[in-house]
């Protein structure tokens, strides 16, 4: 798994006399999963939609040719086991390396 710094958001909090600026940084995880059972573009869309709807998912790339799913996610909101389970529930198999 790779960790990387996601988008940095600057939030201004106003009070009567001063302005406080906070920088919020999200550390995102990147995981590549090997997935068996995808045979067509509909399969790609099914996997992508199943994972994208989960909390904390920032990006999902599904490759039919490579038989893999690359997921960028916030591990404080979702866990890798939950992402894998969602893919299995959609009808596909996770291949352990």
Domains and CATH numbers, the chain: 2-95 (3.30.70.100)
The model carries a pTM of 0.73
Burial of 94 (0-12, 13-18, 19+ CB in 10 A): middle
Is 70 exceeded by the pLDDT of residue 74?
A: yes
Count of CB atoms situated within 10 Å of the CB of 92: 21
Q: Is the pLDDT of residue 1 over 80?
A: no
Percent residues over pLDDT 90 in the chain: 66
Measure CA 59 to chain center: 5
Instruction: Report the C-alpha gap between 56 and 20 in whole angstroms.
Output: 27
Q: Residue 92: pLDDT band by 50, 70, 90 thresholds? A: very high
Structure tokens at 25: 């940084």
* Residue 34 and residue 94 in contact, taking contact as beta carbons nearer than 8 Å: yes
Mean pLDDT along residues 76-96: 96
Match 């798994």 to its residue by tokens: 1
């Amino acid at each position: 798994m790779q960790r990387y710094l996601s988008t940095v958001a600057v939030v201004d909090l106003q009070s009567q006399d001063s302005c406080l600026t906070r920088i919020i940084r999200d550390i995102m995880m990147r995981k590549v999963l090997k997935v068996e059972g995808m045979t067509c573009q509909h399969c790609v869309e099914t996997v992508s939609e199943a994972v994208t709807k989960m909390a904390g998912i920032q990006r999902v790339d599904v490759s039919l040719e490579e038989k893999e799913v690359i997921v960028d996610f916030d591990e404080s909101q979702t866990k890798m086991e939950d992402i894998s389970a969602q893919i299995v529930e959609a009808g596909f198999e996770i291949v352990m390396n």
